Every structure is written in structure tokens, then in C-alpha cells.
Amino acid sequence: MTNIKSAIKTEWDFSKLYKNINDSKIEKDVDAICKHFLAFAKKYKDLKFLKSSKGMLEALKDCDLLSSKTSAIPIWYLGLQQSLNSSDDNIQGKINILSDKYLKASKEVIFFDLAISKLDKKIQEKYLKDKTLAKYKYLLESSFLTGKYLLSESEEKIMTDKSKVAHEAWEDMGQKNRGEQKIKFKNKEMSLTEAMGIKSDLPKTDRRALHKLVMERYKDISFIAESELNAVIRNKKIDDEIRGFTKPYESTIIGYHNDVKSIENLVNVVTKHNYISHRFFKLKAKILNTAEKSEDKKITMAELATGISTAKTKKKISFEQGCELVTNAFAKVDTEFSDIFQSYLKNGQIDTFPKLGKRSGAFCSSIVNAPTYVLLNYVDKLNDVSTLAHEMGHAIHSDLSRKQDSIYQDYPISIAEVASTFFENILFDNLLEIASIEEKKDLLVGKVQDDVFTIFAQIAYFQYEKNIHKAVKDKGFVSKEEFASMFVDCRKSYAGDAVDVTETDGYGYVYINHFRSFFYVYSYAYGQLIANALYEEYKKDKSFGVKIKKFLSAGGSMSPEDIFKSIGIDTSKPDFFLKGLKKIEKDLDEVEKMF
């Protein structure tokens, strides 16, 4: 690769969107979007389009066009700006005002999906067989599937409005409270987020002391999470009963276009194989205690996410070097992948380095009819290069999905992690090729650790959510101490006897936001296992890269199961997930031999 440094922009370039957050075009665009919603509602409110395939075809074409015309780019843009300056209340105010306006207009077309989803069964079957509607078959199938859970138009509007005060307001309060908490450690005041971020790099004594301080603070504020979780879980129970869902996780799985039985199989299979995770933590305890010259046989929760490094020096990788590694890795599979990455660097679609006010972590954000943007907090660590590959996997998936019509560009969350993890796997093998012997050991044990956290820990979280939802349903109210006690059991279920989990560690439930996004966590395990399977196929036959591209270009035009089946991966087979776990067990066998 030539002169990569001069081609890199390390800050987001929004020049193709708006001048700044005060650009008058932002509000004008939202007003134009609202008019499109109202015009569509006026044209189809009489529901005459339902009576013939010709009418349905015209309406579905217009619906596709509406998806393109009503892409919420102005509000999305403000959200991206807010992620760079989270303390700017002016941005949040603008988002709230414009979101309310957008939501009010969008509710005017709720009737359209409802009307289609409630069609008589015989008419549904007729339209599914109609060749003139073949392009929209999956859209219709999805609508008919969810129809039985939908309410009347007026009721759906109430449910939409209710969610802001019955869930979102509670969640916002909890996040703000946690975000404002500070502790003092070694004469330095820091936020809990900062403390959690630096903990793993500290010496053992400091690491454990800081961990204890953090968990005690979460315990101190757990009364807020107690009220929050009881409220949002009870609200979900009410919603599920109104809609007719019989299990608390059904709405999430169906909403992600997955098959409920397949995901239940995933959860059960992973849970039965928690012994693999236990073996890993036993090995981790051995490695860490040896490195720190400790006679302990166990580790604590302070060490749970600590990286395992046997190399004498931790290699620093500049962003330019990281970009070269990612480019070369992607190009080996398909030059289009590396070309897309290069365009992101050139066009300012990656905001790279930490800065005051910028949100932590990393993400990829895309929307119809706008460039995709990636946020990083790159600090020259090896893991930062993996994060870059991961987020670019999402970005490439989003960009290739634009080959679909607007209504099919948005792919289900359940397959989003497949793309990102696949690209991480590509990078991993390239890193192995250039690593020293000690670095290879670190990479291999790190890969197993990633699989353990992404699969076993997340499925344990899924089981924890099942338990707390059942407890709230059965008892009417669950105390903060009970939430903590159940979370101690959750941690132990996948960590095993090698990790000492204390009563205070149970208050980790307070800061895990996923528990407010109900059962979302399974998608990580689902994505990781499928991505690993795809990569194994690719390693056996490099021509499989063509099928990878087919998956990445499918968007949401089929169910996840059908997308993967179309490229030869059948996730519905009872032993599919078991094979993935056996591969992890085999990898662990190899890593154990190294130590």
C-alpha cells in the first residue's frame, strides 16, 4: 500500500450532510420528511390498495420510496455530533424537538403495515403466491408473521407514546445517574466509566482495590436500578400480555427475524457446555497468577476482563500501521473490501482518537441515503486494530446492503455481529503470520477468551434475564439484593470455581445496559458462532469468499436462517451450534498445551 498516511483523515467529515448543528437545512429537511409521511397517509388511508395485487404492487413500491424519502438523516446527524460532544445539552434539545416532530408524522402511516398484517389468511396466501409481488414476498411474510401481535392503529399509537415514559425515561435516568458517579482513587477523581477502563492495566493490588471501590459505588446506587428494572420489566410484561407473547424473549427474537426454537436451542446447547468456559478461566487463573508470582489458585472478578499477556513488552501499533494491517487482511479475501476501507480513510468516515467529551467505546452507524460513519477511541493497542476490523465489518456489511431496495437495506441485528466477527477473524490470521512466538501465544489465548466472553458470558446473561423477568412476574417486585444475588449465580455459572465472585460483585447488574434492551445479548453468541463457521468454510476453500459477499449484500431481504442457508450454512440443524462449541474446545486444548 502506498503513502497511506497522507490518505488518512482521522476526524469525521460531515460536509456532505450539513454545515454544523445550527444549519437551518436540518429543520427544513425534517419538515420535508414529515410532509412525505402525510402525503403517503393521505394516498393510502382508504385502504383500497388491499383489494388487488395491482394496488398492492403500487403501494409497496411507494412504501419502498417512502423508506428512502423519510430516512431520518437530520436527527441521525445530530446524534453523531452528540457522540463527539456528549455534554452539549443544546444538541440533545434539538434532537428531542425534531424527534417528537418526526415521530408524530411517522405515526400517521402506522395504519399501512397494520392493514397488510391483518389481511385474511386466504388473501395472505394469495398474495404470497402472486408472481407480480415476488419482489416483496419476504416483506409480506414478515408482516403476516408479526400481524397477530399487533394491535389497532389507535392502540399502537398509545403503545409508542407510552414507551417513552414507561421505559425510555427510566433508562435515561439510570444512565445519567451512573454517568455522573465519581470515585477517588489514589488522590485522583474519576468517573466509574474511566475507572472500569483503566482497571485491567493496573498491578494486582491496585486493580483489586479499584474494582472494590467501583462495585461498592454501584451497590450504593443500586436502589435506582432496583426501581428502574422493576418498572421496565413490569411494563414489558404488560406489553407482552397485550400483544400475546407467551415468553419474555419472544418479541426480541421475532423482531430480529430469528426462529424462536433455533435460538432456544442455541441457549440450551451453550449452557450445557459451560464447562468449556470453566476450563478457560482455570487456565487464565494459572497464567495470571504465574505472571504475577502469586500462589493463589483463583482469580477475582477484578481479573475477569484482564488481558492475558506473556510477551515481555506490549507492542504499540500506530493507527497508520493498524490501517495497513487491516487493508492487507481485507484485500486477501476481496479487493472490494479493502477499497471500501480505503474510501473511509480518505473521506473522513472514521473518527479515530479519544478527545474530551467524546463517548467511549466504538460503533458503526449507518442510515439509508447517507455515508456510514465509524467511531473509535484508538490508543495504539493491538485490541484497537481488532476493533477497527470489527467496526469496518459492520460498515462493509452496511455499504454492500445498499445493493438492495431501501426497504431491504436494514439488516436484522442478529446477523450484524456475523459480519463484524468474520472480518475480525480475517485480521486475526494475518496478525498470527507476523507475530513472534510469545505474541502468537497471546493472540491465541486472547481469541479463546473473546469466544468465551462473546458466547458463554452473553448466554449466561440471557439466562439471567429470564430469571429476573420470571421473578418480577411471580413476585411483583424484586429487591436490589435479590437482583444482585441472582447475578452472582449468573457470573458463577460461566466463570466456574476458578473465579471468586463476591456478594458485592453481584451489583454488576446495575451498569450492564443490555439488561434494559431485553434479551439482545443472544445476538452476540449467535453472530460469533456463525461467523466462526463462515470463516472455517473460507479457510477450507478461498472461493467461499464469493458466498461471503453474497451474505453481506443480502441486507434484510431474507430471514437470517435463509440468508445463511443460501450460502450453504444451515443454522437450523440441531448440531450446528454444537459444532461451533466443539471447535472452541479444540482451540482451548491447543492453548492449554502452550502453558
3-state helix, strand, coil in the chain (%, to 5): 70, 5, 25
DSSP per residue, 43-100? HHTT-GGGG-HHHHHHHHHHHHHHHHHT--HHHHHHHHHHHH-TT-HHHHHHHHHHHH
The residue written with cell numbers 428502574 in the block is: 228
Select, from the ranges 174-178, 184-188, 233-237, the one with the highest average predicted confidence (pLDDT). Answer: 233-237
Domain tally, the chain: 2
Percent of the chain with pLDDT over 70: 98
Over residues 459-471, mean pLDDT: 98
Residue 2: per-residue pLDDT: 46
Q: Is 351 helix (H, G, I), strand (E, B) or coil?
A: strand
Residue 3: per-residue pLDDT: 52
Spatial distance between the Cα atoms of 430 and 409, rounded to a whole number of angstroms = 31
Is residue 233 packed enough to be buried (19+ CB in 10 Å), middle (13-18) or exposed (0-12)? buried
Give the distance from CA 408 to its chain's centroid: 19
Residue 4: per-residue pLDDT: 59
Nearest alpha-carbon partner for 51 in 116, 114, 110, 108 = 116
Spatial CB neighbours of 42, under 8 Å, sequence gap ≥ 6: none
In the structure grid, which three cell numbers stand for residue 199, read together?
Answer: 482497571
Spatial distance between the Cα atoms of 276 and 495, rounded to a whole number of angstroms = 10
Cα atoms in the 13 Å half-sphere on the side-chain side of 435 = 21
Sign of torsion, CA 470 472 476 477?
Answer: positive
Residue pLDDT, tens place only, 42-57: 999 999 999 999 999 9
Residue 1: per-residue pLDDT: 44
Asked if the model's pLDDT at residue 428 lies above 80, the reply is: yes
Asked if the model's pLDDT at residue 333 lies above 90, the reply is: yes
For residue 478, being part of any structural domain is answered with: no
Over residues 154-161, mean pLDDT: 90
For residue 34, being part of any structural domain is answered with: yes
For residue 471, being part of any structural domain is answered with: no
Range with the poorest average pLDDT among 29-33, 192-196, 465-469, 578-582: 192-196
Residue 345: per-residue pLDDT: 97
Q: Please name every residue paired with 350 in a beta bridge, in sequence order, or none if there are none.
A: 374
Question: What string of H, E and C letters represents the secondary structure of 236-266?
Answer: HHHHHHHHCCCCCCHHHHHHCCCCHHHHHHH
Kindly provide the b/e burial profile for residues 425-443, where b requires at least 16 CB atoms within 10 angstroms of the residue's own CB: bbbbebbeeebeeebbbbb
Spatial CB neighbours of 285, under 8 Å, sequence gap ≥ 6: 296, 297, 298, 299, 303, 498, 499
**What radius of gyration, in Å, describes the C-alpha atoms of the chain?**
25
Over residues 297-325, mean pLDDT: 85
CATH number at residue 400: 3.40.390
Residue 105: per-residue pLDDT: 96
Q: Write out the residue range of the structural domain in which residue 98 sits.
A: 24-149
Asked if the model's pLDDT at residue 235 lies above 50, the reply is: yes
Residue 196: per-residue pLDDT: 85
Nearest alpha-carbon partner for 215 in 286, 300, 285, 155 = 300
Q: Please name every residue paired with 185 in a beta bridge, in sequence order, or none if there are none.
A: 188
Q: Are 319 and 8 in contact (CB under 8 A)?
A: yes
Which of 97, 123, 149 terminates a domain? The answer is 149
Residue 326: per-residue pLDDT: 97
Over residues 248-264, mean pLDDT: 94
Nearest alpha-carbon partner for 329 in 425, 421, 430 = 430
For residue 500, being part of any structural domain is answered with: no
- To which H or E segment does residue 191 belong? strand 188-191
Residue 5: per-residue pLDDT: 56
Residue 180: per-residue pLDDT: 85
CATH number at residue 81: 1.20.140.70
For residue 319, being part of any structural domain is answered with: yes
Asked if the model's pLDDT at residue 328 lies above 90, the reply is: yes
Over residues 514-528, mean pLDDT: 94
Q: Are 187 and 283 in contact (CB under 8 A)?
A: no
Residue 573: per-residue pLDDT: 86
Which of 414, 435, 456 terminates a domain? The answer is 435
Residue pLDDT, tens place only, 202-228: 889 999 999 999 999 999 999 999 999
The residue written with cell numbers 389507535 in the block is: 154
Residue 310: per-residue pLDDT: 67
Asked if the model's pLDDT at residue 500 lies above 70, the reply is: yes
For residue 556, being part of any structural domain is answered with: no
In the structure grid, which three cell numbers stand for residue 487, read together?
Answer: 447475578
- To which H or E segment does residue 375 belong? strand 373-375
Which of 149, 166, 190 terminates a domain? The answer is 149
Over residues 276-283, mean pLDDT: 96
Q: How confident is the model at residue 65 (pLDDT cuts 50, 70, 90)?
A: very high
Q: Are 360 and 197 in contact (CB under 8 A)?
A: yes
Asked if the model's pLDDT at residue 313 lies above 60, the reply is: no
Mean pLDDT of the chain: 93
Backbone φ and ψ of 377, nearest 5°: -135, 75
Residue 435: per-residue pLDDT: 86
Spatial CB neighbours of 243, under 8 Å, sequence gap ≥ 6: 149, 150, 151, 251
Select, from the ranges 288-292, 433-437, 473-477, 541-545, the one with the highest average predicted confidence (pLDDT). Answer: 473-477
For residue 234, being part of any structural domain is answered with: no
Nearest alpha-carbon partner for 31 in 101, 108, 104, 94 = 101
What letter does residue 477 receive in the DSSP assignment? -
For residue 29, being part of any structural domain is answered with: yes
Residue 132: per-residue pLDDT: 96
Residue pLDDT, tens place only, 339-394: 999 999 999 999 999 888 888 789 999 999 999 999 999 999 888 999 999 999 99
Measure Cα distances from 181 to 215, 221, 388 in Å.
12, 9, 30
Over residues 478-506, mean pLDDT: 97
Over residues 63-69, mean pLDDT: 96
The crossing angle, in degrees rounded to 10, of helices 522-540 and 260-272 is 80
Give the distance from CA 385 to its chain's centroid: 19
Asked if the model's pLDDT at residue 119 lies above 50, the reply is: yes
Residue 315: per-residue pLDDT: 77
Give the Cα-Cα-Cα angle 107, 108, 112 (nearest 5 degrees): 95
Q: Are 459 and 434 in contact (CB under 8 A)?
A: no
